[in-house]
Copies of this chain bind each other. A is one copy, B any other.
């Protein structure tokens, strides 16, 4: 059975400010390679690699239809549909829209729901994990993907494995929110906890059933918003009145923590990184417009000005034409506070 990739590309990514802007969020930046994370995500499940995949559906912010179309065209991927959200309503609404869209054609089709802002080094390994998960999904499970926890990361959610269903596939015993340091260390040791990659694989009908049980209002709003959607250029725009009335909740809270259909493909070791902040972007100290003197272990990015670092380490330095950010690698979350302060000062021109 073919798999329908659905790429969730609605994030705003303020923690990668100042390169990530409201008009050009982080998933569209070419940070890690010469392709954006969105493009890498689309290529990862392209039919040119594996004929198990259909052309992708992309669900993105209302203002980003043109970027999505342009970046897909750059890499020669034809979208099955670009769906525009008139406003952000979190991942449960996106999962509901995706399931409703796919069910129009074939209600038992498999959906692979993926965020657009993750980096995965081993694409072939990822597709192997998806093939393993597909069997559980065909049996009615909503499969998640558990990344081998190499460090006690306190910024990720964890999944605890339960009963084994088949080799590498388990029922989910519990979803665990971002843990404290000690708890995270115990997770890494016990071998039963995995990072939650935020990627889901399921039959459209299974997701619709679980939404009916656990989040019927989200299902209803999303379905009606899709039914009332209108073509806007070459994209499909969800009905604003209906969609804006949809409760905003994550798929984890709204469905996964409540359903008894959750499964996990465990021990996925594919070089997965959630590029959630600058500290996850690889270091780059060498470039024509970077000069380092007695400086190492810094993340330095510039889209124009020459950046000189002298005697400093462990810093994030990002320069654009109109802004400069200097922060600590070990506290990249503070970038969010900078963005909040700029909002307070009315500097939307810089956001």
Contact = CB atoms under 8 A, between A and B. Distances in A.
Contacts of A350: 306
Interface string A303-340: 01111111110010101111111111001001101100
Q: Which of A307, A312, A322 has the most CB of B within 10 A?
A: A312
A296 interface: no
A302 interface: yes
Contact of A338 (B302, B308, B321, B337): B308
Residue of A315, A321, A327, A350 most packed against chain B (CB within 10 A): A327
A72 B220 CA distance: 75
A322 B305 contact: yes
Contact of A324 (B293, B294, B307, B342): B307
Count class of interface residues, chain A:
35 or more
Contacts of A315: 312, 326
Contacts of A335: 308, 310
Contact of A311 (B291, B327, B347): B327
Interface in A8-67: 18
A260 interface: no
Given A291-B345, A305-B323, 11 more contacts: A293-B337, A302-B324, A307-B326, A308-B326, A308-B338, A308-B341, A308-B342, A310-B326, A310-B334, A310-B335, A319-B324
Interface of A: 18, 291, 293-294, 302, 304-312, 315, 317, 319-328, 331, 334-335, 337-338, 341-342, 345, 347, 350
